Amino acid sequence: MPHDHHDHDELSPSGHPYRADQDGPLSYWQVMEIAVRELMIEKGVTTAEAVSAQIEAMDARNPAHGAAVVARAWVDPAFRARLLADGSAACAEMGFDVGPMRLIAIENTADVHNVVVCTLCSCYPRNLLGLPPDWYKSRAYRSRTVREPRKVLSEFGLELPAGVTLRVHDSTADMRYLVVPARPEGTADLSEADLAALVTRDAMIGVGVAKAP
Amino acid sequence: MSGLDGKRWHDMGGALAGPIPQDDHDFALWEKRVDALMILASGAGHFTVDGLRRALEDMGEAAFETMTYYERWVAAINQNLLEQGVYSIAELGEKMQAVQARGETYGEASNAG
Amino acid sequence: MLDKVRVRTWAPPGHVRTPSYLRGKIGEVERTLGPFGNPEQLAYGLRADPLALYRVRFRMGDVWGADAERPEDVLEAEIYAHWLEPV
């Protein structure tokens, strides 16, 4: 099976080792995962191949996809307009299949900074950016970002000037959010690919800004 | 639930809490499989993400504090599949017992041979 | 089309997508979305009625009062039609 990682040296797509879950003592919830998966297969809900394919599809999603979308919006005003009008359609145009996810792109400007949180659970644009970081799902981030967002941003090293309006987006229902960070100064000569390298995951959540070249 | 406002534990927006934890981890294979099972079960029309969230919320705050993210997810997926009659509790009990008998590690137990 | 709206102060048990910190707060509709199936039915495996979904913009000062970090900052959230009343 392609996803049985018996080799501890094997790296995940993000370049980190998989957690050593294959050889540790079996946990109750791991037993349940195996049992649920096998019952779903036996009942015809899914197949082993579909499970593997789904994991591969999710592993392939990562912040570089979102970064490519942002860089395109920086260099192509018509694309930027389409992205802000319909985020899902604009991503599809670039070949990123975001599935049934309804994406709203929100743009940072000189006067406005956007940040995204989900206070009720941990909704995240996973079909574009991959799975969320652990902190995004934490009680602290979910609780505080709507109440003291500037303090939260400062913990990420981002001090917003007093003149900038902060827009906090609580992802409460069916929409998912992609922050389009402001294009950094001094990047007029950079290629689209070089621009994309400046766009971090945190900048697309809104807890950071794009890197300087 | 904290008094007359009817606020439930998962509804945490605005609460005070400590610093944002900055540590992160890559997901284990079994966790990725849980994630995949959710997508596949909902894709097959057995329940929606709303059903997943409802089960997670009903598990209560103790589960949030003591179980990992995907431990809670697999419990919530199972809850929905049982409710929808995809398999019975007896079938689950028998299967879990058989899985556990295969070995002492996840690698051994997940290999049905 | 709604303009100024107040979030209902209902507090039922069960699965709802209206956060309690916004209940009773007044905001303005930023855009209209949907219709989407009512999550309060979907969560229980029921046939779901289609509902409009509104992105509502609140001033932080209107949400947190004197405790607001900066009252002019804004908070936007998606609220289903039946949780809103006109002001």
What's the confidence (pLDDT) of residue A7?
41
Q: Does domain A63-205 have CATH number 3.40.50.720?
A: no
Q: Give the C-alpha separation, C85 to C87, whole Å.
A: 6
Low-confidence ranges of chain B (pLDDT < 70): 1-3, 112-113
Q: Is the Cβ pair B7, C13 closer than 8 Å?
A: no
Q: Give the C-alpha separation, C80 to A147, whole Å.
A: 22
Structure tokens belonging to residue A147: 């109440």
B18 occurs within a structural domain: no
- A12 and A130 in contact (C-beta within 8 Å)? no
C45 → closest Cβ in B7, B11, B84: B84
What's the confidence (pLDDT) of residue B76?
98
- The amino acid at residue A29 is W
For chain C, list the domains and their CATH numbers. Answer: 4-79 (2.30.30.50)
Name chain C contacts of B50, Cβ cutoff 8 Å: 15, 39, 42-43
Residue A91 is among the residues annotated as catalytic for this protein:
no
Number of Cβ atoms within 10 Å of the Cβ of A213 = 14
Name chain B contacts of A152, Cβ cutoff 8 Å: 20
User: Which of A86, A142, A174 is the best substitution to test chain C (most C C-beta atoms within 10 A)?
Assistant: A174
B7 occurs within a structural domain: no
Domain CATH for B72: 1.10.472.20
Over residues B21-51, the pLDDT tens digits come to: 988 888 999 999 999 999 999 999 999 999 9
Q: Is the Cβ pair A143, B12 closer than 8 Å?
A: yes
State whether ipTM is beyond 0.90: yes
Q: Which residues contact A7 (CB under 8 A, 6 or more apart)?
A: none
Q: Which residue in the list A14, A121, A143, A154 is annotated as catalytic?
A: A121
Chains that touch B (3 or more CB pairs under 8 A): A, C
Sequential pLDDT tens for chain A (213 residues): 334 444 434 444 455 544 556 667 899 999 999 999 999 999 999 999 999 999 999 999 999 999 999 999 999 999 999 999 999 999 999 999 888 789 999 999 999 999 999 999 999 999 999 999 999 999 999 999 999 999 999 999 999 999 999 999 999 999 999 999 999 999 999 999 999 999 999 999 999 999 999
What's the confidence (pLDDT) of residue A22?
64
State the virtual CA torsion across B22, B28, B32, B37 in degrees, nearest 10.
-120
Give the structural domain span for B41: 26-109
Name chain A contacts of B35, Cβ cutoff 8 Å: 54-55, 58, 131
